[in-house]
Amino acid sequence: MKRVLVTGGAGFIGSHLCDFLLEQGYRVVCVDNLITGSKDNIKHHLKNAHFEFIKHNISKPLRVNGPLDYVLHFASPASPIDYVEYPIPTLKVGALGTHNALGIAKAKGAKFLLASTSEVYGDPLVSPQKESYWGNVNPIGPRSCYDEAKRFAEAISMSYYRMHGIDVKIVRIFNTYGPRMRKKDGRVVPNFINQALAGKDITVYGKGRQTRSFCYVSDLVRGIHSLMLSKHNGPVNLGNPQEITILRFAREIIKATASRSRIKYLPLPPDDPRQRQPDITLAKKVLKWLPAVSLQQGLRQTIEFFTNA
C-alpha cells in the first residue's frame, strides 16, 4: 500500500482528499494544526488503521516515521477572511511550511504536490488564465500575505525540482466549494447559502460584476489524484471554467434555496480580483480531466449540507 502525507488534511479540501485516498487504498498520514480546520472533518477515520492524525504546525520541522510515497502540501488558511486574520501564519506556512514539507519529501524520496491557487494570477489582465500567465499581484496589499506566500511556495518547489530532482507537481486551484466549508469562513459560497437559508440579506460586495468560476470539490479531488499519478511537473490549473458574475451567483442561490432574501450591496474589498476563469487545456491534455458536476448539482449538495449543519 502506498503511504501519503497530507498537510492541511483536516481542512475542507484536505479532508475530502483524505476520504478519496483511503477509498482508493492508500494509507494516509494527516498533519494539521487545526487553525482553520476541524477534527470533525476527519472524525470518521480516527479509528481506521490506515489513517493517522498528527496535530502539528508544519511551519515547524516534523519527523515522520516510516516510508512515504507522496507528500501533498495543502496546509494554509484559504479564505480571504482567514488569511487577513492570520497574515503571518499564512506567510509562514507558504514559506517555512512548504520548505519543511519539501524536506520531508526529499528525506523519504517521495513525490511532492503543492496546493497553489488562482491567486498567483492576482487581478488578472488576461482571461481565461493559462499556466503561462505570470499574473498581476499587489505585493503589499491585504491579499499579499496569501498570494505572495503561494508564489514563494511555487518558486521553492520548482527550485527543489531543479536542484534536488524532487518530482514536483503544482495544482493551481480555482474557487472550489462543497460540504465541510465552515459556515462562517467568509467565502462567498457559505456566506450566500447561509444568508439565504436564514432569510437574511445576501451581501454582494461592490456591484457584483466581478466574476468567479466554481468547481465542486469531488471534481477537484479526482483531478488532484490524476495529477499526483501523472508524469507532469510544474503547475496545472484545476477548476470549472463556467464563469459567473457574483450578482448572478447570488440570484442562483436565492433560486436554489427558494429564499425570500434580498440583495444588499456592501463595499468591494481592496484588490478583489475582477475576473477569474481557468483555462484547463493543459489539465484536459495531460490528465484527461474535465469537471463533471454542474453548478446546480454541486449547489444542491452544498445547500443540503448547510441545511443539516
Question: d(Cα 270, Cα 255) in Å, to the nearest integer?
Answer: 29
Binding piece for ligand UDP, criterion CB under 6 A, among 60-68, 127-135, 205-213, 236-244: 205-213
Question: d(Cα 207, Cα 210) in Å, to the nearest integer?
Answer: 8
| 175 sits near ligand UDP (criterion: CB under 6 A) | yes
Cell readout for 35 is 487553525
Report in angstroms how near the CB of residue 191 gets to ligand UDP at its nearest. Answer: 4
Report in angstroms how near the CB of residue 237 gets to ligand UDP at its nearest. Answer: 14
| 204 sits near ligand UDP (criterion: CB under 6 A) | yes
Residue 99 interacting entry, from ligand NAD, ligand UDP, none, C-beta within 5 to 8 Å by type = none
Site residues for ligand NAD, window 180-219 (CB under 6 A)?
A: none
Report in angstroms how near the CB of residue 199 gets to ligand NAD at its nearest. Answer: 26
**239: nearest Cα among 222, 260, 251:** 222
Cite the DSSP H helix spans in 95-175: 98-108, 144-164
| 11 sits near ligand NAD (criterion: CB under 6 A) | yes
Cβ contact 232:286 at 8 Å: yes
Question: d(Cα 206, Cα 100) in Å, to the nearest integer?
Answer: 39
Vertex 146: Cα angle to 87 and 151 (nearest 5): 135
Site residues for ligand UDP, window 136-155 (CB under 6 A)?
A: none
Nearer to ligand UDP, 138 or 233 (CB): 138
**81: nearest Cα among 195, 216, 184:** 184
Near ligand NAD by CB under 6 A: residue from 19, 29, 42, 57: 57
How do 3-7 and 27-32 pair as beta strands? parallel
Question: d(Cα 168, Cα 227) in Å, to the nearest integer?
Answer: 10
Cα–Cα distances in angstroms (integers) from residue 295 to residues 146, 172, 204, 259, in the given order: 27, 20, 19, 18
Nearer to ligand NAD, 7 or 259 (CB): 7
Near ligand NAD by CB under 6 A: residue from 5, 76, 216, 298: 76
Q: x/- binding map, residues 22-51, to ligand NAD, per CB under 6 A?
A: ---------xxxxxxx--------------
Q: x/- binding map, residues 98-137, to ligand UDP, per CB under 6 A?
A: ----------------------------------------
161 is catalytic: no
- Catalytic residue positions, numbered: 146
